[in-house]
Amino acid sequence: MRIRETGDLWWKTAVIYCLDVETFMDWDDDGTGDFQGLTQRIDHLADLGVTCLWLMPFYPTADRDDGYDITDFLGVDPRLGDVGDLVRMIRTARDRGIRVIADLVVNHTSDRHPWFRAARRSKDSPYRDYYVWSATEPPDTSEQVVFPDQESGIWTRDEATGEWYRHRFYRHQPDLNTANPAVRDEIAKAVGYWMQLGLSGFRVDAVPYFLEDTAKHPDDDLQDPHDYLRDLRSFLSRRAGDSVLMGEVNLPYDQQRRFFGDDDGDGTADGTELTLQFDFVAMQQMYLSLARRDARPLAATLAARPTIPRDAQWATFVRNHDELTLDKLSDDERAEVFAAFGPDEDMQLYGRGLRRRLPPMLDGDPRRVRMVYSLLFSLPGTPVLFYGEEIGMGENLAADGRLAVRTPMQWTDERNGGFSRAAPSRLPGPVVEDGYGPAHVNVAAQRLDPDSLLAFVRLLVRRYRESPELGWAREVEILDQPHDAVLAHRCTWDDGSMVALHNLAPEPVVVPLELHDCSTEGAPVRLVDLLEDGETVVDAHGRVELELPGYGYRWLRVVHEEERRLV
């Protein structure tokens, strides 16, 4: 096992943890989370085994879209602290072995950004071309709206000049014109600035949208939008060779593959564009499989994953900070998932997603919750956790829209979940109530309980980090077996190999497997359990039968004679 290579391409076996500083820990008790609070809680992340911290936007904001409406790309929201607080947090995280990346939101700005304020005052403003304008009224664009509950089109008329500006998202978020080289220079300046302060890269928001205008300017030296993504990756690598761009590209695999930057698609070369991409396709098929208690949709999707560059990686996840999108499912499939996990209209969002966390969707069944997180960490790729998942937080549907899953972190069973001592009315959002509230779900209690979800996720993280084949396997091998409810897959890299079994149904089963490379006339091959004590011997023909309880899961390391790895 070439363990030394896992340090060079650290992101291929990283454990990424996403949080919003505003809702994580309030140290000065003004009601808003801050960098001081995050720094005080870094040891929680280190104890969990996190190796990369992803920060949601911390920049100055008009705060009409939870920080994604930015008014200054080179600042820190004063409610959260200042640049010095950020640098101190980065240094503390680095001391604990945790890299830090941040959201790069360059598809748009707030309409209160100084650039847009100057642009809308006059058609002759030097900032006018920083945005996308139309002198004539655009046609109906209702089909292109991202948030249909808020907008009826993607163009809005500006009264000052009588022209229309484009906004893919909300009207208070005008789109930046990346066809303008001056805009790209501003983006590069921001990227370089934050890298100099210690970031290890960025999660890039809405990649296809912000690339759409690139290479359309008549004086542009770019011939293709992907040229810009390559330039951005190259610039980032010059500033820090081991930095990453993790991209939000919610497209079918055949289109998504190109954003890695490997045009021939044979997987032998390094990528030139995004370093990691979220696997939205597999995530949605996972929920379809869970709803049906049938692993075949997920198995077929994993088998269909395209070959990606040698140094690239899929980012796998159970849920993220947005709505749990189901837009790649058919209408009938989406209806199945809604019926299983979000039957009430208030649980759904935009007609395409859910605003719920996993435990309430699974009726709090600890067997199913643990099975799903075991599945997440066993899939080939880099797992991404959203804050609170490690303790099984729920949602608060009383909060607006996507804010239902962005509630304050639950540290203790005290008021406000130990997030802040301020009055509840001053918090960024309501704390979760009912059976998933802090009285029942919190970090402090689970730290003392060896059977808690926190302890289990900590075990998954440790075993994942000890199994680099999960991050480095070129492809996943779906193993033949007779049970539709069971996903049996194998990841192999160099001399390491692991078999994982997950039962999506409540009935126990015995899973017969045939591992052709494990047939031997000498010492038998063993399958050693990694999540509990035990092992199973493979017979001389490579056959083995494995018991799997209802909603059960097993990780099994393939151990040959003379194996030198510790198990």
Cβ within 8 Å of residue 348, ≥6 positions away: 338, 342, 354, 355
Which residues carry out catalysis? Answer: 205, 248
Cross-strand pairs, 165: 133, 156
- What totals of helices (H) and strands (E) does the chain contain, helices first? 18, 22
- The closest alpha carbon to 531, from 407, 370, 379, belongs to 370
- φ, ψ of residue 421 to 5 degrees: the values are -95, 0
DSSP, residue by residue, 163-187: EEEE-SS-TTSPBB-TTSHHHHHHH
- The closest alpha carbon to 21, from 111, 93, 71, belongs to 93
CA pair distance 317, 89, nearest whole angstrom: 25
Tokens 């934050």 label which residue? 194
How wide is the angle at C-alpha 312 spanned by C-alphas 311 and 314, nearest 5°?
145
CA pair distance 384, 395, nearest whole angstrom: 18
| The pair of three-digit structure tokens given for residue 567, joined into one six-digit string | 């198990």
- φ, ψ of residue 493 to 5 degrees: the values are -150, 125
Three-state secondary structure string covering 110-152: CCCCHHHHHHHHCCCCCCHHHECEECCCCCCCHHHCCCCCCCC
DSSP state of 62: -
DSSP state of 500: E
Radius of gyration of the chain (CA): 24
- The closest alpha carbon to 488, from 498, 497, 479, belongs to 479
